[in-house]
Amino acid sequence: MSTTGVPEGPPFVTGAQIGDSGTGLHLAIGLLAALHQRDRTGKGQYVEVAMMDGVMNLCRVKFRDHQRLTRQSLSEYSVPTKQGMDAVPRAGNDSGGGQLGNAIHCKPHGPNDWLYVVVQEAVWEGLANRIGPDLGTPGLAADPRFAKIADRRKNQNDMWALITKFAAQHTSASSWRS
């Protein structure tokens, strides 16, 4: 929980009970691997899964970010980070793991009208070409504030504002494809 929640606020628990369901998923994977091994070799296996191991795997992005902080700041976070920080900061809906991600409110703007958008390098041009014309900025993909991932990280608040402005016109179920 130390990495969840909003800056300067309390931590948030996960909506899903990742310890329970994550452990079950890891057990199912282990059982399938054991059955496959049995079919290949004729030998059975004992499968055991610890809840903490399942949770640790599901938290791997935050663990990786903690390791990254020993060498650098985390430019995908909207809150300040610096090399040598003791812990990954609470950063609201920031994605972490090197990717820009955020929750975007959609039409009709109710409490559950949200999308989680991750803007990876491979999708920026298509996304910008789709939303730019609707926002009156058909050249958005080439805009120097956003053209490269480093620029988008530096100007992410402006990028999220544009994506949010576009989303305000669309429901989460409507097609964002051109």
Query: In terms of residues, how long is the chain?
Result: 178
- Rounded alpha-carbon distances, angstroms, from residue 22 to 50, 60, 92: 10, 13, 23
CA 68/CA 65 separation, integer angstroms: 5
CA-CA distance, 39 to 42, in Å (whole number)?
A: 6
How many CB atoms neighbour CB 153 within 10 A? Answer: 19
* Residue tagged active-site, from 20, 65, 143, 151: 20
Contacts of 41 (CB under 8 A, 6+ apart): none
**Cβ 26 vs Cβ 53: under 8 Å:** yes
DSSP code, position 99? B
Of 63, 69, 98, 92, the C-alpha closest to 82 is 69
Task: Please say if 20 is a catalytic residue.
Answer: yes
Question: SS3 for 176?
Answer: coil
**Residues classed as catalytic:** 20
